Structure 1
Amino acid sequence: MEFSLLGPISVLCGSEELPLGPAKRRSVLALLLLQPNTTVPLEQLIDSLWEDEPPEHARTVVQGHVSRLRATLAAGGAEVYGIELATHGSAYLLRLPEELIDAHRFGELVALARPEAAPSDAVPLLREALGLWRGPALTGTVTSPPFAAAAHALEERRLTAVEALARAHGALGEHEQAAAVLYSAAVSHPLREGLIAALMRALFRTGRQSDALEWYHRTRRLLTEELGVDPGERLRAAYEEILRAEATGGDRQAAAPAGAPADPRTFHVKHGGDRPAPGKGETGSGGGAGPTAGSAAGRSRAGAAPRLLPRPPARFLGRDAQLGSLTGALTDRTTGESPLAVVVGPAGVGKTACAVQWAHLHAEAFPDGQLFADLRGFGEGDEAAPAEVLRDFLQALGTPPERVPSSAQAASALFRSLVAERRLLVVLDNARSSAQVRPLLPGGLHCATIVTSRSRLDGLVATDCARPVGLQAMGHEEGGALLGAMLGPDRVAEDPAATQELVDLCDGLPLALRAAAAQLTARPRWRLARLASALRDERRRLALLSAEDTGIAAALRMSVARLSADDARLLRALATSPDGHLNASAAAALAGYDQERTQDGLERLAEMHLVDEEATDVYTISALTQLFARDTNGEGGRRRESGDGAEPDGLPGGG
Structure 2
Amino acid sequence: MTLRIQVLGPMRAWHDDEPIVLGPPAQRTVLGLLVLAGGQPVGLPGLIDTIWGDDPPASAVNVIQTHVKRLRRVLEPGRAPHSRSAVLPYLGDGYHLVVPPDQIDILRFRRLLRSAADIPAPEPLSEALALWQGQPFADLPQLTGHPKVRSIVAEHRAALARLGVALLAAGQAGRAIAAFEEVTAADPLDEAGQAGLVRALAAAGRRAQAFATYQAVRARLADELGVDPGAELTAAYRELLDADARAVEPARTAVGAGRPVPAELPADVPGFTGRAHELAALDRLTGGRAPSTAQDRLTGTSPPASTTEPAPSPEPSAVMIAVVSGTAGVGKTALATRWAHRARDRFPDGQLYVDLRGYDPEQPVSPEAALARFLRSLGLPGEQMPADVEERAALYRSLLDRRRVLVLLDNAASVDQVRPLLPGAASCVVVVTSRDALPGLVVRHGARRLDLDVLRHEEALALLRRLAGERVSGDAGAAEELAAHCARLPLALRIAAELVHRRAPASLASVVSELADHRGRLGLLSTGDPHSDIGVVFSWSYRDLPAGAARTFRLLGHHPGTDVDVCAVAALTGDPEVRAREHLGLLAASHLVQRAGDRYGMHDLLRAYAKDLARRSGEAGLPRAVPVFYLHTAATAMDLLYPAERGRRPRVPVPDGPALPLRAATALAWLDAERANLVATAVHAVAHDLEWFAVQLAQVLLRYLESGGHYTDAVTLHEHALRAAERRPDHRAAAQLRINLGVLHVQQARYAEAGIELQRAVELALEVGDTLVRVRALGNLGHLYQWQGRYAEAARFLGEVVSVARHSGDRAGEARGLGNIGQVRLRQGRLADAAHDLRASAAICHDIGDAVGEAYALLHLGHVESSSGRHTAAAELYERALLVFTGTTEVAGRAYALDGLGGVDVLLGEHRRAADRLGEALALFRRIGERAGEARVANSLGAAAASTGRLADARAHHLSALRIAGEIGYRYEQSRAEQGLARLSAAGRHQLPA
TM-score tier after normalising by the smaller chain length:
0.3 to 0.5
Structure holding more strand per residue? 1
Greater Cα radius of gyration, structure 1 or 2 = 2
More RCO (CA 8 Å, sep 6+): 1
Q: Report the TM-score, using the length of structure 1 for normalisation.
A: 0.41
